[in-house]
DNA sequence: AAGTCACACAACCGCATCATA
DNA sequence: TTATGATGCGGTTGTGTGACT
């Protein structure tokens, strides 16, 4: 640690000062906030470094800016949890943009990149824990062939409107193009598929799913030109019939680690309605209802061969 | 009541990019 | 053109709090 402890504040938090420049670190006091707010009122949200050079605060410009952007800005939704709609927006945009939190935050009024980042981080941890729990429980129940998996409460999200893109940059045009009609895949299914996606391919599917979604939308637009869509759904790879069959096999588990595994599911691999036919049973009327499919998923030993969730630093 | 855990939040750090002299 | 400082962004870590045991 380059700094030295000069003072203690509060119960446990320490206020640190840089050894050379008397740079204060740690939590902000109300008086400091006031100084910062007054500076912004006078000069606008810029010249952060001048705050220190003028001797107003012993904080770095970076620290001042961060405090303003993340906490003091008047248009922030402080203390308000992410709504279901906001959650879906983040999930959707993360799939499109990756970990571009600042960019994603621009679609969420009152939210900062830090908010979005923290939300996503918490979500990933939750999913990792679920994955771990599933893995642990499966190892003790591997003799069973099926298991009922209850979706965690945080995923029980009621249907909400997908994010609306009000401006019209090129990227947003792409976003608009990556849409589909809600008459074919309802919102509950979407959420379930998000769960499915996150459990099986945590943070790895975005490229494939974007590709697939684009292909799908192209074909859907040709098929349903009158439904020029206004809803943008999370970019979810829907299941092809082959997929549901694969789930019945232990081979599926073994193939999860195969980098070319997804290639077997050629686009457009979307379910046009709430049920899909099982291959090989096409002549019969044997279909799998999506609800049944999800509730029966995953097989008890599905996660046995899956590597632990990579840390964010290991993401591509 | 005390300990543990999960979660939300705040803030720092390192690096990249931009602006300007 | 280059050096330098300012700013922005993403990753990470530390702390407080509430729920649960």
* DSSP-assigned states of every residue in A253-313: HHHTT-TTGGGGSPSP---SSSEEEPTT-TTTT-EEEHHHHHHT-S-TTGGGGPPPPPPGG
Q: How far is the CA of A160 from the C1' of C15 (A)?
A: 34
H runs (alpha helix) in chain A: 30-43, 48-53, 61-67, 84-97, 101-105, 113-140, 170-177, 187-200, 206-223, 241-247, 250-255, 290-295
Cα A95 to Cα A263: distance, rounded to the nearest angstrom: 19
A88-92, A178-182, A252-256, A281-285 — which one is most confidently predicted on average?
Answer: A88-92
Decide which of A255 and A62 is more confident. Answer: A62
pLDDT for the residue numbered A15 = 52
Q: How far is the CA of A229 from the C1' of B14 (A)?
A: 42
Which nucleotide is the nearest neighbour of A64, by CA and C1'?
A: B11
pLDDT for the residue numbered A119 = 93
Domains of chain A, start order? 4-72 (1.10.10.60), 84-314 (no CATH)
> Residue A165 in 3-state DSSP?
coil
Percent of chain A whose predicted confidence (pLDDT) is above 70: 35
> Strand B closer than 7 Å to the CB of A111?
no
């Amino acid at each position: 640690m380059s700094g030295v402890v000069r003072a203690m504040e509060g119960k446990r938090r320490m206020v640190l000062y840089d050894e050379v420049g008397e740079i204060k670190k740690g939590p902000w006091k109300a008086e400091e906030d006031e100084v910062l707010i007054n500076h912004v009122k006078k000069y606008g949200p810029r010249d952060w470094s001048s705050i220190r050079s003028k001797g107003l605060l012993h904080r770095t410009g970076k620290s001042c800016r961060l405090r303003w952007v993340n906490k003091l800005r008047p248009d922030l939704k402080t203390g308000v949890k992410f709504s279901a709609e906001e959650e879906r927006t983040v999930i959707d945009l993360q799939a499109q943009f990756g970990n571009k939190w600042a960019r994603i935050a621009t679609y969420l009024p009152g939210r900062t990149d830090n908010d979005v980042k923290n939300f996503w981080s918490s979500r990933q941890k939750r999913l990792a824990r679920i994955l771990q729990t599933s893995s642990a429980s499966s190892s003790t129940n591997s003799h069973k062939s099926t298991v009922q998996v209850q979706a965690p409460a945080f995923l029980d999200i009621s249907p909400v409107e997908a994010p609306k893109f009000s401006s019209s940059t090129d990227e947003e045009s792409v976003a608009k193009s990556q849409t589909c009609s809600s008459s074919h895949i309802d919102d509950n299914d979407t959420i379930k598929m998000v769960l499915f996606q996150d459990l099986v391919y945590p943070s790895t599917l975005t490229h494939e799913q974007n590709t697939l979604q684009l292909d799908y939308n192209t074909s859907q637009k040709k098929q349903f030109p009158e439904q020029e869509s206004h809803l943008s759904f999370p970019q979810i790879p829907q299941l092809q019939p082959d997929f549901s069959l694969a789930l019945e096999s232990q081979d599926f588990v073994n193939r999860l680690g195969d980098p070319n595994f997804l290639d077997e599911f050629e686009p457009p691999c979307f379910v046009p309605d709430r049920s899909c036919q099982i291959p090989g049973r096409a002549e019969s009327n044997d279909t799998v209802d999506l609800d049944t499919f999800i509730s029966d998923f995953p097989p008890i030993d599905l996660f046995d061969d899956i590597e632990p969730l990579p840390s964010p630093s290991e993401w591509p």
